[in-house]
Structure 1
Amino acid sequence: MTVCNPQKDKIIIVAEHDSVSAQQIISTLTSNGFSDIRHVNSGEKIYEILRPFHDQPERIGLIVLNDSLPKCQLLEMSQSLSCATDGSVIPFVILRSSDSADSAAYLEQCQSEASSCLTYQISTPVDPQLLLLSINFLMRLKQERFLRHQQEEQLINELASKSVIEAKLKFLVAHDELTGLFNRNSFERQLRLIMNLSNKLKKEGALLFIDVDRFSLINELEGFDVGDRLLVELTILIRKLVPTSNLFARIGADEFCLFLENKTKKQAYIVAETIRTTVENFRFFTGEICYSASVSIGITALDNSMPAQHPGEMILHSRQACNFAKINGRDKIRIYNQEDIAIKERRRDIYWVPIIRKALRENDMFLMFQPVVQLNNGDISHYEVLIRMRGDEGKTITPDQFIPVAERMGLIHAIDLWVVENAIDFLAALPSYMSRISLAINLSGTAFQYPDLLQVIRDKLELTWVDAGRLTFEITETAAVDNFERTRDMINKIRDLGCKFALDDFGAGFCSFNYLKTFPVDYVKIDGQFIKNLDNNETDQILVKSMVEIAGKLGKKTIAEFVETPNIALKLKEIGVNLGQGYAFGRPERTLLDSHQVSLAILLNSQKRRPIDTEFL
């Protein structure tokens, strides 16, 4: 955003025959940034300056006029120029050098006409401060009158062939009141006719969905009136770039649709790029502020091999393309492609969101538990809590299908809270002889950005009397690093309750060791990419060993995930990893076993795959 004052580039005419007074006025204006000042010493010379700008009245800013100026008809001149009701109005600052009859009569007439004239009288000798205030005030009034005239003229041109009242009512039924463009309903009706004709005649065409970037910022900073003026000016700007025969509509607050007949995708992209570049170079002035604007554009074309059945479908596709242009940085153009991964992902999101909401509402989620084993003796340390969702006909839906959607669509925090509450309820419901059982709960990367998480954990622990030490919360390394300070603060508060923490996927990031030394966690969970081939990959062994050594020196225990075979488990024990988790020890289950049954289950499970050293167990 750049700041400039276009008013100070306007022509200021100083009509003063007193050379000393004229020089003082010119000096005052120059020192305050006015760059185009014209001095005259008679009334007839004022018209000499004005004539070349008869078709550009906006170039003239204001006239400073001495009421005793020679060859000047004060009343006639000021009334014809300053009392105009259209954009040609020119304000006057009248310097009263005497109590002249003309000046007094003019003042009395202005008062009797409720002062529709843009004039202001000050006495001489001129007070520089009062002069500047008068000039700035009158020039702003001129600018507002000019802009109002533009909007009124636009509406009048649209309705010129009919009576104003009747035509306006009919016009507003089919058009947007602010811009004069088609509204959404009218646009869809017109587009349906064009699509039907194009499908029959195999004609080409393309739809541009245009969204004004960060438009809400203008409304917040300057108000809705200024935002409306910006939309009007952008509408006029775009209209000049395309033939008037093309359908153009405003279908949302800052959203427009433009249908280009007989245009291919490539031709439509060229038009879109022209619009994008023109808007990018456009400057919008309000008061002393100058704003730059930009648009994101999505394009979809008529496909005669697979004709769209409804205009809403075509609008939806172009809107999706526009959304992806905004996601990728705004001020960009995107062509819709149904094979685009982002498009498929969005369709997938649309499919899964109601299913996730229903599962949360009807409690169609459930927990499963996978043991985390102490590698030195084979005993269960704790269980990791894993979430599943019930599908149709009792089908189990795994988290890889719905968690990414929940993260993108803002549902993940509700899932986080559901898991926390149900995991604590599960511990509270266990019989007393299983009171040693503890759980590790995965939390999303955004969980610690919500202050209600702390309150939910605190309230649930107080309500159930569950020992906070039986809860370990896992957070991924990348999520911790992305919001380091805020996450660390929330973790410290939750640890003050007595809970423990594990840093999940350790090693997946690039700043692991640097953050580990100051991060308040009890466990370091080594990323599975270093574990899967540990028994055959010397590089992985070296990296895991370094992680174990550093974590140990920092007083943190290490957990290896994805332990799939007994050989990997033995190698981890040899390296010094404290805990292991994976199919070598047990798959996720709905229920827990007591300690003796757990050890037996691990042994049998391992023997089914391949023999394992009994000394290890």
Structure 2
Amino acid sequence: MATRKLNQSIFRLVVGLVMLTALMILINVWNSTSKHAQNQLNGNLKVAQNVFEQVLENRENVLYNSANVLTADFGFKQAVATGDVPTIDSALYNHGGRISADLMALVSLDGSNITSVPQILEAGADFPYPRIVHNAVIDGGASSLLLIERRLYQVMMLTIDAPAPIAVAVIGFEIDQEWGQQLKNVTQLETTIEVKADGKKNLTISTLPDEMVSLALSEQGQTLSWLSLSLFNDVPYVSRQFLLAEEGNFNVVITLSNDVHRLFSDFSALQMNISLIAVLAIILALCFAALFSRKVAKPLVALADIAQRISTGDYNKAINTQSSSTEVSNLAIALESMQSNIRQREEKISYQAQHDILTGLNNRYNMESLLNVKFEENKPFQVLGINVFGFRSINDVFGYHNGDTCLQVLAKRLLAHGGLGARLAGGELLWVPDEHVTHEQLLEFRNELEQPIETGDASIITKVSIGMLNCPTDAGNAEELFRRMNIVLDETQLSEQLLLNYKPEFEQRYLRRLSIIAELKTALDDQQDELSLFYQPKLDLISGKVTKVEALIRWNNAILGFVSPDDFISVAEQAGFIGKITDWVINQAIKDAVTLRDAGMDVSIAINLSAKDVMDNALLPHITSLMSASELDSKALSFEMTESDLVREPEKAIQQLRAFRERGFELAIDDFGTGYSSMSYLKSLPVTTLKVDKSFVLKLDSQQGDQKIVRTVIDLAHSFGLNVVAEGIESQATLQLLQNWGCELAQGYYMCKPLPFADFIQWHNKHQSTNWLEK
């Protein structure tokens, strides 16, 4: 056996191994390149599909948020509830314009079209997809892809609740050629949308040329091979098809197509280049692989595995990689820092997404999830709503910083009792105690919350009301709980009861208040004849003549019937449009004053003003402007304010009332004697008259206690140089007593009840000579 030199043997062995390796590499490269191209192609199609679905999902979120804003708009709810189609169209047009929607519509609960902008859906006709409307009514909302008038729309439907569903709002974006082109610009793939109904194609939208559409669709599921691409060149497109939407016999199919020639145009040149450099690459690899594989490859593979673990959300394992390379060590340190930072950011984002930043309590959305979990447990639990009275005033008086401090202190006091806490909005908190809280414990809890809060700048005393719900008796889910908690907290403010359990009748009263608001706004905005002024005479006990009347507003609604002023005035004040009622009363009273003047009747009309009216700087200039236009003297009108309203902001009230007096108007304090601080500021009020409340006058002829009070009030008023009006007179004996005591004016059913304007004129003409003291 011939011997060889060791170096030759090694060389032959190495050459043989290199040649074998080179051949294997070339074969591998050819196969791997083809497979890689196939995988890349499939990957591109899959990514494009995900992008497509994500775009639709994002548009759906936009539609949902926009529909939610639209359906939550109070004015839009009112327009829908009253059937005001022009206002509905205007709201749909404006809202659609803001979000560039292609379809804005309103559908009734029974599935008929009410209106649409633009007029794609025929008003009064049935909505083409009744099951979608039905699902929206049942679930509160629905989304789908719909074919309407041979156009494809992505549609979001939400119910309009007031608070029960009254209609369904429809918002849609059109999916058209331009939209497909935009997706192509993002994915670099051709997009074909096929809409089929009853097994037939109704619509095809594609970014491909018309002659290529059918060819691309036929290549669905085609498998690539290097041979077919290089030699036969017979596969222009590779396509992926998936079902996007299905509604009964209607479905939408998406086909994504990739131009394989563009992807494989350099394939042959790549194969040749790889062949040329394969040998050199293998030789160099043989020289350096052993040297660097253990030092570089192994730690890098380990770091890659670590990065993969981090990408799955596992941030808790330590990163330990042994390497003599500074770069690899630095990379390991960077991965460790990245892992720590990502974990901290995710924890922070998760916390912020679930909690109110100011108080640290749960926010409304997280609380909704927590409550639904408790409802699923099907165990009884108690929920307390906490409302800070006048929280906005705290911000206005003490500043927002101190207002924030108040909320933070209240949150700490709440959390000290355990359970679940949440901040709903503004000064409203929610508390779910771990155990049932008794009435006595609630009183202690409220007293603890109302302890003075020291902010460093001031000592703030808060007043809170608490509404209580016992679940699941009072509410069956979180959404219902929030709605009913709002109702019971609203009731605590109206009734001024600081502790109140939910009762079903509260919801009825709440719905009636909503109806009053909607109908009253309609009556004021549309200038209907539902509102009217009644007039009750005031008898001058010195002259025996009727020289003054009080204007009293009355409202007969076609739906609600007669609504007491005590009901709708308070609702209007709460809803913030009491000023509109005052404007209506003033305008009507001035018109009637002109009629009285032209008829030769020297009668002054007294108008009641609320506290908000008195504080309105624009009211007095408006009144004087109207009176100047009607050429009326200031004596034609006078004004009455309730005593309790004036003591809320006495300094500003005095300033405003002085302006009225400077213009020559007489002013009266209504219901005098029912307040608690009148004596302390009466001398400062620029009023001309005190009006004794009827509760002291109704039985004046028989109740000695009332007689003492009334005589005292009359003497007090005269000591300040003020006139006195007594209301509630129902007998001649009472009238005689008041005249004997020096009361200037008398008002009551004994002389006349409130009358419509025309009836008052007749009554006045009839009783000009009546002697009421001898009647």
TM-score (norm 2): 0.45
Partner of 1:23: none
Q: Which has the greater radius of gyration?
A: 2
What SS is found at the alignment partner of 1:504? Answer: strand
Partner of 1:206: 382
Q: 1:314 aligns with which of 472, 477, 481?
A: 481
> Does the CA-based 8 Å contact 1:298-1:325 persist in structure 2?
yes
Q: Verify: 1:191 aligned to 2:363, yes or no.
A: no
Superposition deviation, residue 497 in structure 1:
1.8
Q: Deviations over 1:404-448 (max 9, x none)?
A: 333445443443333223212332355622352320111123432
* Matched ranges for 1:24-173 at <5 A: 160=315, 164=342, 171=350
Superposition deviation, residue 184 in structure 1:
3.3
What SS is found at the alignment partner of 1:494? Answer: helix
Partner of 2:436: 264
Q: Verify: 1:391 aligned to 2:582, yes or no.
A: no
Q: Verify: 1:423 aligned to 2:589, yes or no.
A: yes
How has the CA–CA distance of structure 1 residues 492 and 326 changed in structure 2, closer, same or farther, with 3 Å as cutoff? closer
Partner of 1:337: 501
Q: Deviations over 1:51-84 (max 9, x none)?
A: xxxxxxxxxxxxxxxxxxxxxxxxxxxxxxxxxx
Give, in whole Å, the separation in 2 of the partners of 1:365 and 1:437.
22
Give, in whole Å, the separation in 2 of the partners of 1:282 and 1:248.
20
Give, in whole Å, the separation in 2 of the partners of 1:595 and 1:227.
58
How has the CA–CA distance of structure 1 residues 481 and 614 changed in structure 2, closer, same or farther, with 3 Å as cutoff? closer
Deviates more, 1:524-533 or 1:423-432: 423-432
Give, in whole Å, the separation in 1 of the partners of 2:413 and 2:759.
72
How has the CA–CA distance of structure 1 residues 354 and 196 changed in structure 2, closer, same or farther, with 3 Å as cutoff? farther
Partner of 2:697: 531
How has the CA–CA distance of structure 1 residues 340 and 481 changed in structure 2, closer, same or farther, with 3 Å as cutoff? farther
Partner of 1:461: 627
Q: Deviations over 1:279-298 (max 9, x none)?
A: 989999xxx99999999695
How has the CA–CA distance of structure 1 residues 530 and 599 changed in structure 2, closer, same or farther, with 3 Å as cutoff? farther
Give, in whole Å, the separation in 1 of the partners of 2:599 and 2:606.
20
Give, in whole Å, the separation in 1 of the partners of 2:644 and 2:744.
23
How has the CA–CA distance of structure 1 residues 316 and 300 changed in structure 2, closer, same or farther, with 3 Å as cutoff? farther
> Does the CA-based 8 Å contact 1:338-1:344 persist in structure 2?
no
> Does the CA-based 8 Å contact 2:751-2:772 persist in structure 1?
no
How has the CA–CA distance of structure 1 residues 438 and 322 changed in structure 2, closer, same or farther, with 3 Å as cutoff? closer
Q: Deviations over 1:307-330 (max 9, x none)?
A: 52331232345566778999999x
Give, in whole Å, the separation in 2 of the partners of 1:312 and 1:514.
49
How has the CA–CA distance of structure 1 residues 599 and 574 changed in structure 2, closer, same or farther, with 3 Å as cutoff? farther
Superposition deviation, residue 493 in structure 1:
1.5
* Matched ranges for 1:198-237 at <5 A: 198=378, 203-209=379-385
Superposition deviation, residue 381 in structure 1:
0.9
Superposition deviation, residue 460 in structure 1:
1.5
Give, in whole Å, the separation in 2 of the partners of 1:550 and 1:235.
49
Could you tell me which runs of 5 or more consecutive residues in structure 1 were left unpaired when the two chains were aligned.
1-157, 605-612
Partner of 1:500: 666
Q: 1:589 aligns with which of 755, 758, 763?
A: 755
* Matched ranges for 1:299-448 at <5 A: 300=468, 302-303=470-471, 306=473, 308-318=475-485, 336-339=500-503, 352-363=516-527, 364-376=530-542, 378-393=544-559, 395-430=561-596, 432-434=598-600, 436-448=602-614
Q: Deviations over 1:244-288 (max 9, x none)?
A: xx7666655776655456x33349969x959978x989999xxx9
> Does the CA-based 8 Å contact 1:184-1:251 persist in structure 2?
yes
Q: 1:472 aligns with which of 608, 627, 638?
A: 638
What SS is found at the alignment partner of 1:206? Answer: strand
What SS is found at the alignment partner of 1:434? Answer: coil
Partner of 1:616: 774
How has the CA–CA distance of structure 1 residues 483 and 308 changed in structure 2, closer, same or farther, with 3 Å as cutoff? closer
> Does the CA-based 8 Å contact 2:363-2:424 persist in structure 1?
yes
Q: 2:744 aligns with which of 566, 578, 585?
A: 578
Give, in whole Å, the separation in 2 of the partners of 1:443 and 1:295.
28
> Does the CA-based 8 Å contact 1:375-1:616 persist in structure 2?
no
Give, in whole Å, the separation in 2 of the partners of 1:275 and 1:578.
48
Letter in 2 for 1:309: G
* Matched ranges for 1:278-293 at <5 A: none
Deviates more, 1:318-327 or 1:486-495: 318-327
Letter in 2 for 1:175: Q
Superposition deviation, residue 562 in structure 1:
0.8
Give, in whole Å, the separation in 2 of the partners of 1:585 and 1:529.
18
Give, in whole Å, the separation in 2 of the partners of 1:289 and 1:541.
50
How has the CA–CA distance of structure 1 residues 498 and 184 changed in structure 2, closer, same or farther, with 3 Å as cutoff? closer
Give, in whole Å, the separation in 2 of the partners of 1:210 and 1:346.
19
Superposition deviation, residue 581 in structure 1:
1.1
Give, in whole Å, the separation in 1 of the partners of 2:635 and 2:733.
32
Superposition deviation, residue 367 in structure 1:
1.1
* Matched ranges for 1:239-250 at <5 A: 242=418
How has the CA–CA distance of structure 1 residues 319 and 160 changed in structure 2, closer, same or farther, with 3 Å as cutoff? farther
What SS is found at the alignment partner of 1:459? Answer: helix
> Does the CA-based 8 Å contact 1:249-1:258 persist in structure 2?
yes
Q: 1:175 aligns with which of 354, 362, 366?
A: 354
- What is the CA RMSD across the aligned residues, in angstroms? 5.3
> Does the CA-based 8 Å contact 2:669-2:691 persist in structure 1?
yes
Give, in whole Å, the separation in 2 of the partners of 1:235 and 1:394.
42
Partner of 1:79: none
Superposition deviation, residue 452 in structure 1:
1.6
How has the CA–CA distance of structure 1 residues 404 and 553 changed in structure 2, closer, same or farther, with 3 Å as cutoff? same
> Does the CA-based 8 Å contact 1:298-1:318 persist in structure 2?
no
How has the CA–CA distance of structure 1 residues 465 and 159 changed in structure 2, closer, same or farther, with 3 Å as cutoff? farther
> Does the CA-based 8 Å contact 2:356-2:362 persist in structure 1?
no
Q: Deviations over 1:352-391 (max 9, x none)?
A: 4444434433344321111112235542212110011232
Structure number with higher relative contact order (C-alpha < 8 Å, ≥ 6 residues apart): 1
TM-score (norm 1): 0.55
Deviates more, 1:479-488 or 1:507-516: 507-516
Superposition deviation, residue 596 in structure 1:
7.8
Matched residue pairs, number? Answer: 434
Give, in whole Å, the separation in 1 of the partners of 2:448 and 2:563.
44
Superposition deviation, residue 616 in structure 1:
3.1
Superposition deviation, residue 491 in structure 1:
2.1
How has the CA–CA distance of structure 1 residues 339 and 374 changed in structure 2, closer, same or farther, with 3 Å as cutoff? same
> Does the CA-based 8 Å contact 1:443-1:474 persist in structure 2?
yes
Give, in whole Å, the separation in 2 of the partners of 1:541 and 1:236.
54
Q: Deviations over 1:121-160 (max 9, x none)?
A: xxxxxxxxxxxxxxxxxxxxxxxxxxxxxxxxxxxxx985
Give, in whole Å, the separation in 2 of the partners of 1:554 and 1:236.
52
> Does the CA-based 8 Å contact 1:428-1:464 persist in structure 2?
yes
Give, in whole Å, the separation in 2 of the partners of 1:584 and 1:267.
48
Give, in whole Å, the separation in 2 of the partners of 1:173 and 1:509.
48
How has the CA–CA distance of structure 1 residues 283 and 595 changed in structure 2, closer, same or farther, with 3 Å as cutoff? closer
Give, in whole Å, the separation in 2 of the partners of 1:438 and 1:283.
52
